[in-house]
């Protein structure tokens, strides 16, 4: 009893250190062309946090403008992307001509207790990776564009006023979901995880999609996912990349709970009482039996570089299989259409989902027992954006969990930066702390990062291990040893 | 009713013979399918015409009384004529044999000969009212030898020459049928075996009339390789049934006869049966129409019998003009329309219609083209067509039609059609394969059962579908490309489902279509999931697409790698991209670096204008030379003199590797 009582109160007082992860200080969007004549603040299209005093906003924007202008004199085609200071880092991005997005991230902090008991703050200036956060900033724009179209389009549709409204509406919510502390290599890649599947099941899915597009003749594009992994995209790669990001980090996680609740739970009971299939809408009407159900679907914008299409995004899911039907925004899906979709797609998707599940299990069994290997890896192919990571656990809406130490993740990021500098294929092997080895390989637009933990391994052994890994995991692609 | 609506027709070139009249008797032999026109008992001539031989056989014979039955043995070797109820007369038609007639009396005392059938060129069966007698004819001795006989009371008989089965009607009600099967192995006396008898269930009839089975209501025919006894069951007027039906009894080689199918006619009156291309054709005289039944099409199964309905709506046989031939054929004379369904028609199995009064023998034929439009259910249409003899072009036209803009079928229907085609295709491929395996195993001599599978017209392979359907289909500009791709993928899916290896040209068609519409990302995804199977031609095609779609290069290299037989190609591709080091590392990785041409690599290295790269490559080959030949120098055969000179020029003589001497 005594021992328990004694243990209960004790905390890790020995290490008098507190760590604060990187955090978003501010985020703003401006257009220098809007400023000079009508007053400085007109340049600012969006500013977070909004509470900041007007003059300070103008000052900060002005500073960025100056930096960009100044650096442009040295490198006209590639102006500054980031600015490093002791306390923070600023990232600049010009996604559309003269529209600038700036993100200011505070460096991670370690708060130490000095001898006299006063806290001492130490900024970790070298912790943040430029590439990671530049990618996050670019993603912010892509996500905005997906749901709102380009800045220019908003200007054409309703001038600065409309653009400001849209930015406010979108970023107000979006910035809260950024989670800068858990950004890493995967944010640089912005890849897509593909679901491994045998040819026959894949063809069945093809057949299903084609039939659905035929019977629901207003569907323009379709995407098919299983287990949050992509199987088919009718959209072009870049559009799919950001839609995939939205689906897997925002839409799907929000709908996990009702699914886990099962059929008999009260949440499930609210769903249309359909016994024939498990299909349901993730966007659009919740209950098809409700005659007043709203058939409002999110709008998305794709192919903004040429055809500039505005679409309704219908996401429909049965068990682990999700289909995105995209229909032209000029067509308004009615409740009747939704019911029809439900009655056609629901049963077939349910069958297909269990087929995929079955096939997947068969393949898994055939490929042998899933032993936890000695290593973890991240793979990315620039050509098809295929991404595979055994480092990351399942993504949740709030945070992406990694199973390795942040320091190792940082090494991965550093290797990636090295790869970016040269065009040639190369290989980097790093000996990290506590028996860890990190290997980075780049071969014809593919990158592979391996983390090994082997006691007393030497360089040759590590090299051999990685060769073995390539032979087992990547034997069907051309990947140079 | 347009002409395109008739699905039955009489053959264009009928067998023409002299009309039956008081002095000219006409006989038909079902075995040889010959019509005998016997004038004045043969004294003024007998003319025999068959369907195939356009040269009729004519001869004279003495008029020894009224001819009751006249038939040639198989191959027209011996003529048998029955003139009395006790005897049959024979006459040899074999060269060098006596042509004097000889006679055989039936062995059973007091029996009357009902008729006879030839079962081979020298074997004959007499059917009497008291049994059957099986004889061998010895033409050179002008005598017959009794092989076997069997006694039972016979009301009437029926012979099916294709299966060599004689059916005897016995008992008072005439409805117990006793089949006999005759086998005639070559060069050996034939055998006769008695099969289990069976009873035809007669419909309930009013008490006043005695029910009995009429010969007219029975037919025998081979359908899908199986012998059936077809019974036309008229329903008595008193019962409130819907109409007559045809009951099919399956008569297997071994085992008991079994009632299998019932064809619902839904009408009453006078009927006649034919079997054409494995279809049962039922003619109805009252309405002058016919219907067809296909027992392979799905019917309603009640646990023991399958009920079938007509495949198509009833239609008349296509109107027929009697051809005018000979000197009477003057242009001004219009052809005479032939009276169809005439009461003077006599129908024989399987497909023969004879008009004795007009002097014509026709074969009944099924026309497939009109059926395409009469059967809207494409799945059923395919099931039907795939069983027909001359189906290939019709099926291909159905495929083309369902992909045409005006008659476009839905994808599920298209999928069903492809699946049905490939099911048939796969069956054939499997049969071919097991045949090939059996031949390889050397079973060909030991097992007479081993036969090369016959490729019927229903086997439509990828090249047929490609040539006649798909290649034209993808060329159609007005087709939405989504539909084109969906159809191609559906065909590929179907082939895969039946585990048929997809031919390269189909993949090429998919790629061509995708590239035409700039759908590279789709193509990429298909390749990613290996929907388009790896092959060298495909890899080369991808390489050629690199300028339009850069990732094609990577896809191509991956494919070459997976093929594992294309290492030379991989090296070439890498060298062409100036990836000399990568090429060298690759070839070393697979252990082929001792056999590569140094000159090729040095050339490529020199072209990169990267001196350090050149140095590395040069040194690699020096080391190879050292290892293989004990000296770093290149041999004259390697033609590397200019590279050695180039190396010296840049790095100096002293940079060359020193030969290690011992």
CB pair distance less than 8 Å for B486 and A214: yes
Give the separation between CA A161 and CA A165, rounded to whole angstroms: 6
Of B410, B486, B585, the CB nearest to A481: B585
Q: What is the mean pLDDT of residues B369-375?
A: 89
What percent of chain B clears pLDDT 90, i.e. is strictly above it? 32
CB pair distance less than 8 Å for B586 and A476: no
pLDDT at B509 over 60: yes
Q: Does A232 touch chain B (CB under 8 A)?
A: yes
pLDDT at B185 over 70: no
Q: Does A205 touch chain B (CB under 8 A)?
A: no
| SS3 of residue A302 by DSSP | strand
Q: What is the pLDDT of residue B13?
A: 82
- Contact between residue B282 and residue B273 where contact means Cβ atoms under 8 Å apart: yes
What is the CA A85 to chain-centroid distance, rounded? 27
pLDDT at B448 over 70: no
Give the separation between CA A335 and CA B114, rounded to whole angstroms: 79
Q: What is the mean pLDDT of residues B404-418?
A: 92
Lowest mean pLDDT among A249-263, B420-434, B509-523: A249-263
Give the separation between CA B504 and CA B490, rounded to whole angstroms: 16
CB-CB neighbors (< 8 A) of B524 in chain A: 383-384
Predicted confidence band at B438 (pLDDT cuts at 50, 70, 90)?
A: confident
Q: Which of residues 408-437 of A touch B (CB under 8 A)?
A: 425
Give the separation between CA A97 and CA A117, rounded to whole angstroms: 52
Q: What is the pLDDT of residue A133?
A: 93
CB-CB neighbors (< 8 A) of B586 in chain A: 480
- Contact between residue A435 and residue A405 where contact means Cβ atoms under 8 Å apart: no
Tell me the per-residue pLDDT of B565-586, one tens digit each, with 9 for 90 and over.
888 889 998 888 888 988 988 8
Phi and psi at residue B348, to the nearest 5°: -120, 160
| Residue B623 distance to chain A (closest CA, Å) | 21
Give the separation between CA B643 and CA A48, rounded to whole angstroms: 64
Q: What is the pLDDT of residue B407?
A: 87
| Alpha-carbon dihedral angle through residues A53, A59, A65, A66, given to the nearest 10 degrees | -170
- Contact between residue A276 and residue A263 where contact means Cβ atoms under 8 Å apart: no
Of A203, A444, A481, the CB nearest to B531: A203
CB pair distance less than 8 Å for B570 and A211: no
Q: Which of B408, B410, B411 is the best substitution to test chain A (most A C-beta atoms within 10 A)?
A: B411
Q: Does A237 touch chain B (CB under 8 A)?
A: yes
**Beta strands, E only, A268-412:** 279-281, 299-302, 309-318, 321-328, 375-381, 386-389, 392-395, 400-402
Q: Is the peptide bond before B350 cis (omega within 30 degrees of 0)?
A: yes
Q: What is the pLDDT of residue A380?
A: 93
Q: What is the mean pLDDT of residues B418-439?
A: 91
Q: At what angle do helices B504-516 and B481-497 cross, to 10 degrees?
A: 160
In 3D space, the residue among A26, A41, A31 whose CA is nearest the CA of residue A94 turns out to be: A31
Phi and psi at residue A432, to the nearest 5°: -100, -175
Q: Which helix (H) or strand (E) holds B182?
A: strand B176-183
Burial letters for A352-391: b for 16+ Cβ neighbours within 10 Å, e otherwise?
bbebbeebbeeeeeeeeeeeeeebbbbbbbebbbbbbbbb
Binding-site residues on chain B for chain A (CB distance < 8 A):
410-412, 415, 482-483, 485-486, 489-490, 492-493, 496-497, 521-522, 524-525, 528-531, 550-551, 553-555, 557-558, 560-562, 570, 579, 582, 585-586, 589
Q: Which helix (H) or strand (E) holds B199?
A: strand B198-199
| Residue B294 distance to chain A (closest CA, Å) | 31
In 3D space, the residue among B107, B22, B125 whose CA is nearest the CA of residue B71 turns out to be: B125
In sequence order, which residues have a C-beta less than 8 Å from that of residue B539 and are 6 or more positions away?
Answer: B556, B559, B560, B563, B566, B569
Give the separation between CA A471 and CA A450, rounded to whole angstroms: 14
Q: Which residues of chain A have pLDDT under 70?
A: 1-16, 35-40, 257-275, 367-374, 394-401, 480-481
* Strongest mean pLDDT among A347-356, B58-67, B229-238, B623-632: A347-356
| Residue B242 distance to chain A (closest CA, Å) | 39
Give the separation between CA A1 and CA A217, rounded to whole angstroms: 72
List the structure tokens of B622.
């020096």
CB pair distance less than 8 Å for B558 and A477: yes
Tell me the per-residue pLDDT of B91-140, one tens digit each, with 9 for 90 and over.
888 777 777 888 888 888 888 889 999 988 888 999 998 989 998 888 88
CB pair distance less than 8 Å for B521 and A425: no
| Residue A16 distance to chain B (closest CA, Å) | 52
CB count in 10 Å sphere of residue B480 = 11
CB pair distance less than 8 Å for B411 and A477: no
Lowest mean pLDDT among A20-24, B189-193, B599-603: B189-193
Sequential DSSP letters for B530-587: T-S---HHHHHHHHHTTTT-THHHHHHHHHHHHHSS-HHHHHHHHHHTT-HHHHHHHH
List the structure tokens of B502.
């997809």
| SS3 of residue A22 by DSSP | coil
Q: What is the mean pLDDT of residues B43-55?
A: 79
Burial letters for B100-121: b for 16+ Cβ neighbours within 10 Å, e otherwise?
eebbbebebeebebbbbbbbbb
What is the CA A180 to chain-centroid distance, rounded? 12
The interface predicted TM-score (ipTM) is 0.87
CB-CB neighbors (< 8 A) of B585 in chain A: 480-481
Phi and psi at residue B346, to the nearest 5°: -125, 135
Q: What is the mean pLDDT of residues B74-90?
A: 88
Tell me the per-residue pLDDT of B230-272, one tens digit each, with 9 for 90 and over.
999 887 544 556 788 899 999 988 888 889 999 998 888 889 9
CB pair distance less than 8 Å for A478 and B557: yes
Give the separation between CA B534 and CA A479, rounded to whole angstroms: 17
Q: Does A213 touch chain B (CB under 8 A)?
A: yes
- Contact between residue A18 and residue A107 where contact means Cβ atoms under 8 Å apart: no
Please state, in angstroms and as integers, the Cα–Cα distance from residue A320 to each residue in A352, A353, A356, B121, following that order.
10, 7, 9, 73
Planar angle of CA B500, B501, B505, nearest 5 degrees: 125
| Residue B483 distance to chain A (closest CA, Å) | 8
Q: What is the pLDDT of residue A363?
A: 79
**To the nearest whole number, what is the mean pLDDT of chain B?**
86
Q: Which of residues 170-199 of A touch B (CB under 8 A)?
A: 194, 197, 199
List the structure tokens of B92.
């040899």
Give the separation between CA A321 and CA A195, rounded to whole angstroms: 11
| Residue A205 distance to chain B (closest CA, Å) | 10
Give the separation between CA B549 and CA B541, rounded to whole angstroms: 12
Q: What is the mean pLDDT of residues B173-186?
A: 80
pLDDT at B416 over 50: yes
Q: Which of A355, A383, A425, A479 is the best substitution to test chain B (most B C-beta atoms within 10 A)?
A: A383
CB pair distance less than 8 Å for B529 and A197: yes
CB-CB neighbors (< 8 A) of A194 in chain B: 528
| SS3 of residue B300 by DSSP | strand
Lowest mean pLDDT among A205-209, B21-25, B304-308, B558-562: B21-25
**To the nearest whole number, what is the mean pLDDT of chain A?**
84
Of A200, A210, A480, the CB nearest to B582: A480
Q: What is the pLDDT of residue B662?
A: 54
pTM: 0.85
């Amino acid at each position: 009893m005594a021992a328990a009582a004694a243990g209960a109160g004790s905390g890790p007082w020995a290490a008098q250190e507190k760590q604060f992860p990187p955090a978003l200080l501010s985020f703003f969007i401006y257009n220098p062309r809007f400023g000079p004549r009508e007053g400085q603040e007109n340049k600012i299209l969006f500013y977070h946090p909004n509470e900041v005093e007007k003059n300070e906003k103008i000052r900060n924007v002005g500073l960025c403008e100056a930096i960009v202008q100044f650096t442009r004199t040295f490198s006209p085609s590639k102006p500054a992307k980031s600015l490093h200071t002791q306390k923070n880092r600023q990232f600049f991005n010009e996604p559309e001509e003269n529209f600038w997005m700036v993100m200011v991230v505070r460096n991670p902090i370690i708060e130490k207790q000095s001898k006299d008991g006063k806290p001492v703050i130490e900024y970790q200036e070298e912790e943040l990776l430029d590439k990671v956060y530049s990618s996050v900033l670019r993603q912010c724009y892509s996500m905005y564009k997906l749901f709102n179209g380009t800045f220019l389009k908003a200007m054409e549709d309703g001038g600065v006023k409309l653009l400001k409204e849209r930015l406010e509406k979108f970023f107000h919510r979006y910035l809260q979901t950024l989670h800068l502390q858990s950004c890493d290599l995967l944010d640089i890649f912005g890849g897509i995880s593909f679901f491994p599947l045998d040819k026959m099941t894949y063809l069945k899915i093809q057949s299903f999609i084609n039939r659905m597009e035929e019977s629901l003749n207003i569907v323009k594009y379709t995407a098919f996912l299983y287990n949050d992994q992509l199987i088919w995209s009718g959209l072009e790669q870049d559009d799919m990349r950001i839609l995939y990001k939205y689906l897997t980090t925002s839409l799907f996680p929000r709908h996990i709970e009702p699914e886990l609740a099962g059929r008999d739970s009260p949440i499930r009971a609210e769903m249309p009482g359909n016994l024939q299939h498990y299909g349901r809408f993730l966007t659009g009407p919740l209950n098809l039996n409700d005659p007043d159900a709203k058939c409002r679907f999110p709008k998305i914008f794709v192919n903004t570089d040429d055809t500039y299409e505005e679409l309704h995004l219908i996401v429909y899911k049965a068990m682990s299989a999700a289909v995105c039907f995209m229909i032209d925004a000029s067509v308004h899906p009615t409740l009747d259409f939704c019911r029809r979709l439900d009655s056609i797609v629901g049963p077939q998707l349910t069958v297909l989902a269990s087929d995929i599940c079955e096939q997947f299990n068969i393949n898994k069994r055939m490929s042998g027992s899933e032993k936890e290997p000695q290593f973890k890896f991240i793979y990315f192919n620039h050509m098809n954006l295929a991404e595979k990571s055994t480092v990351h656990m399942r993504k949740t809406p709030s945070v992406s969990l990694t199973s390795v130490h942040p320091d190792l993740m940082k090494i991965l990021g550093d290797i990636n930066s090295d790869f970016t500098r040269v065009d040639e294929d190369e290989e980097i092997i790093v000996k990290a702390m506590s028996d860890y080895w990190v290997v980075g390989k780049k071969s014809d637009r593919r990158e592979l990062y391996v983390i090994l933990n082997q006691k007393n391994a030497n360089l040759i052994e590590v090299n051999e291990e990685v060769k073995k890994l390539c032979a087992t995991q990547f034997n069907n692609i051309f990947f140079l040893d | 009713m347009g002409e395109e609506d008739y699905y039955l027709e009489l053959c264009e070139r009928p067998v023409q013979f002299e009309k039956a009249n008081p002095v000219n008797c006409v006989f038909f032999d079902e075995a040889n399918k010959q019509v005998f026109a016997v004038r004045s008992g043969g004294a003024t001539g007998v003319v025999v015409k068959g369907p195939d031989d356009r040269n009729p056989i004519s001869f004279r014979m003495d008029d020894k009384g009224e001819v009751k039955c006249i038939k040639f043995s198989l191959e027209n070797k011996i003529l048998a004529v029955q003139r009395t109820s006790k005897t049959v007369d024979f006459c040899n038609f074999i060269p060098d044999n006596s042509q004097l007639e000889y006679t055989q009396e039936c062995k059973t005392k007091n029996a009357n000969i009902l008729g006879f059938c030839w079962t081979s060129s020298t074997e004959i069966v007499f059917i009497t009212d008291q049994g059957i007698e099986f004889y061998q004819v010895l033409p050179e001795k002008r005598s017959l030898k009794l092989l076997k006989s069997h006694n039972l009371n016979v009301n009437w008989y029926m012979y099916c020459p294709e299966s060599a089965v004689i059916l005897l009607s016995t008992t008072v009600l005439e409805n117990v049928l006793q089949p006999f099967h005759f086998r005639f192995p070559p060069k050996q006396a034939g055998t006769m075996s008695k099969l289990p008898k069976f009873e035809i269930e007669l419909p309930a009839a009013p008490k006043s009339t005695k029910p009995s089975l009429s010969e007219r209501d029975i037919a025998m025919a081979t359908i899908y390789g199986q012998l059936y006894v077809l019974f036309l069951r008229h329903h008595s007027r008193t019962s409130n049934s819907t109409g007559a039906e045809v009951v099919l009894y399956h008569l297997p080689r071994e085992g008991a006869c079994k009632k299998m199918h019932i064809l619902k006619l839904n009408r009453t009156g006078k009927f006649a049966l034919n079997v054409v291309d494995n279809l049962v054709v039922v003619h109805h005289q009252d309405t002058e129409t016919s219907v067809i039944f296909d027992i392979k099409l799905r019917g309603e199964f009640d646990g023991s019998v399958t009920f079938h309905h007509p495949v198509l709506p009833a239609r008349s046989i296509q109107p027929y003009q009697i051809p005018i031939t000979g000197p009477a054929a003057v242009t001004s004379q219009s052809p005479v329309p032939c009276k169809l369904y005439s009461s003077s028609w006599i129908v024989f199995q399987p497909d023969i219609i004879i008009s004795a009064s007009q002097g014509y023998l026709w074969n009944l034929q099924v026309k497939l083209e009109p059926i395409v439009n009469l059967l809207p259910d494409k799945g059923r249409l395919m099931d039907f067509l795939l069983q027909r003899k001359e189906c290939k072009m019709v099926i291909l036209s159905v495929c083309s039609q369902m992909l045409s803009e005006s008659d476009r079928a839905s994808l599920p229907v298209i999928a069903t059609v492809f699946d049905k085609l490939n099911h048939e295709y796969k069956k054939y491929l499997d049969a071919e394969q097991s045949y090939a395996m059996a031949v390889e195993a050397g079973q060909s001599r030991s097992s007479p059962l081993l036969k090369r599978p016959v490729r019927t017209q229903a086997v439509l392979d990828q090249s047929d579908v490609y040539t006649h359907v798909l290649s034209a289909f993808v060329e159609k500009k007005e087709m939405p490309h989504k539909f084109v791709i969906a159809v191609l993928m559906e065909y590929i899916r179907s082939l895969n489902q039946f585990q048929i290896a997809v031919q390269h040209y189909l993949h090429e068609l998919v790629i061509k279509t995708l590239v035409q519409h700039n759908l590279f990302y789709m193509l990429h995804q298909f390749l990613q999931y290996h929907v388009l199977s790896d092959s060298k031609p495909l890899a080369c095609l991808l390489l050629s697409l690199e300028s339009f779609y850069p990732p094609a290069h990577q896809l191509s290299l991956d494919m070459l790698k997976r093929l594992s037989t294309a290492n030379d190609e991989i090296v070439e591709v890498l060298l062409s991209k100036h990836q000399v080091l990568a090429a060298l590392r690759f070839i070393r990785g697979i252990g082929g670096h001792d056999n590569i041409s140094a000159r090729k690599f040095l050339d490529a290295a020199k072209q990169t204008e990267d001196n350090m790269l050149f140095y590395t490559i040069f040194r690699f080959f020096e080391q190879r030379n050292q290892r293989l030949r004990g000296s770093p120098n290149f041999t004259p055969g390697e033609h590397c003199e200019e590279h050695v000179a180039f190396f010296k020029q840049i790095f100096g003589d002293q940079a060359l590797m020193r030969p290690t001497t011992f």
